Amino acid sequence: MAAPAIATGYGGRLTVDLGALKRNWIALSKVSRGALTGAVVKADAYGTGITQASRAFHEAGARFFFAATPDEGIAVRAALPEDAHIFILSGLYPGSAPLYVGERLMPCIASIPMLEEWLQACIASNQALPAALHFDTGINRLGFRLNEVSIVKRMIDQIGYQPQMIMSHLACADTPAHEKNRTQLALFTSVMAQFPGIPASLSNSAGLMTNRENHFQMVRPGIALYGGRAVAGRRNPMAPVVTLEAPVLMTKDVKTGETVGYGALQTMSQDSRIAVVAIGYADGFFRSLSSSNNHRGTNVAIRGQLCPVVGRVSMDMIGVDVTDLSEPPRPGEMVEILGPHVSVDDHADVANTIGYEVLTSLKGRYTRQYTEGASPTG
């Protein structure tokens, strides 16, 4: 057996496999052959680092990027060559058109006031500034209402403006059999008919992976790029991207009937050995991953063996039952929080959430490093 990894710093270690990011983008681009494949890099590229992830996707072949805010878009613009095209999913913030124009960002315009401001910017600059038009087909978040389609069309026709793309967003793509998917596809097709010749985009990761009818001219994968599960109830085919490790602080023997952690929620049913590990909710390890006498918590892995979390997750540390290990872990030995044996979705299932939240919460006290699937790049 290889010697266990020992901490070289004072806290956790977060490793992002840039090679896996590239492989995931290439795999999805093959599925969506015939459509352009973008890359959603919002929320710091789902916690992996927007600069590094954007560069990896660009090296893999991506040229269209989707950020949530202008600040994110500016970070992508600074990281990539001039051939990158950057959409801002949150639309056009009031008064921000000059910023978007200066940074060559394309708003996903979702309301009449946004469209008015953007068309005024087009007139002022005497050019058709690129943007997408976002229509709400049933999710009731951002997007023009369907009864505004004729108004939008009249506004852009008055000045001869053509958008780069029209788009909508699926509400239930992760549940392929949901009736709403068919309803939204039909509604979006009716919107497309009002804008002939304009490229269209509907699919997120799940939409891309489940129904070719959703592909149109552009797909916008997000969670699948980062190794997360996109479709409920199906095997996840994507390569894991993130490894998170945290060091053991100490081990101790706990007697039958003693409790572990705040609230005394977990009573040991047998003599046990507990490892105290340096990670907690301040590091994005959710309190809802705790265990109690009535609820099994999540698992971590030590030397490839799953070990259950015991008691309540605290701010800085967790207890892990290592009784079944042939040898107790040494102080400084690294515990796999996320990696080949424990996925983001494993934790998400225990916490009654989704892998997206697990990934985007990884802002803890970690040493962060990047690899191409082998040695760290720093």
Q: Give tens-digit pLDDT for 162-180.
A: 999 999 999 999 999 999 9
Same domain, 101 and 196: yes
CB 263 within 8 A of CB 310: no
Same domain, 188 and 253: no
Nearest Cα residue to 329 out of 371, 263, 273, 291:
273
Same domain, 101 and 199: yes
DSSP 3-state assignment of 110?
coil
| Assigned domain for 12 exists | no
The phi and psi torsions of 227 (rounded to 5 degrees) equal: 90, 0
Write out the two tokens for 94: 């009031």
| Assigned domain for 275 exists | yes
Pairing relation of β-strands 266-267 and 39-40?
Answer: unpaired
State the DSSP string of 337-359: EESSSS-HHHHHHHHTS-HHHHH
pLDDT confidence tier of residue 3, bands split at 50, 70 and 90: low
> In the predicted model, is pLDDT for residue 8 greater than 80?
no
Containing structural domain, residue 117: 18-226
Share above pLDDT 70 across residues of the chain, in percent, rounded to a whole number: 97
Active site annotation includes 363: no
> In the predicted model, is pLDDT for residue 144 greater than 60?
yes
> In the predicted model, is pLDDT for residue 377 greater than 70?
no
Active site annotation includes 46: no
Which H, E and C letters describe 4-66, residue by residue?
Answer: CCECCCCCEEEEEEHHHHHHHHHHHHHHCCCCEECEECHHHHHCCCHHHHHHHHHHHCCCEEE
pTM, two decimals, is 0.93
Residue 364 has a pLDDT of 81
The CATH number that applies at residue 209 is: 3.20.20.10
Same domain, 246 and 219: no
d(Cα 19, Cα 35) in Å, to the nearest integer?
Answer: 23
| Residue that finishes a domain, picked among 199, 226, 253 | 226
Query: Which residues, 6+ apart, have CB-to-CB distance to 349 below 8 Å?
Result: none
| Assigned domain for 235 exists | no
d(Cα 209, Cα 236) in Å, to the nearest integer?
Answer: 11
Compute CA distances 118 → 111, 146, 167, 171, whole Å: 11, 20, 17, 27
Neighbours of 162 (CB within 10 A): 11
pLDDT confidence tier of residue 9, bands split at 50, 70 and 90: low
312-364 pLDDT tens trace: 999 999 999 999 999 999 999 999 999 999 999 999 999 999 999 999 999 88
d(Cα 53, Cα 342) in Å, to the nearest integer?
Answer: 22
Same domain, 51 and 182: yes
Catalytic residue among 22, 42, 226, 366: 42
The CATH number that applies at residue 346 is: 2.40.37.10
| Assigned domain for 41 exists | yes
207-260 pLDDT tens trace: 999 999 999 999 999 999 999 999 998 999 999 999 999 999 999 999 999 999
Summarize the confidence of residues 109-127 as an average pLDDT: 97
Catalytic residue among 30, 46, 180, 262: 262
CB 316 within 8 A of CB 282: yes
Q: Which own/partner contact pairs does 233-238 have at CB distance under 8 Å and 24+ positions apart?
A: 236/343, 236/345, 237/27, 238/24, 238/27
| 197 burial level (CB within 10 Å; 0-12, 13-18, 19+) | exposed
Same domain, 97 and 205: yes
Summarize the confidence of residues 142-162 as an average pLDDT: 97
Residue 373 has a pLDDT of 76
The phi and psi torsions of 79 (rounded to 5 degrees) equal: -85, -20
Query: Which residues, 6+ apart, have CB-to-CB distance to 53 below 8 Å?
Result: 16, 18, 21, 39, 41, 45, 46
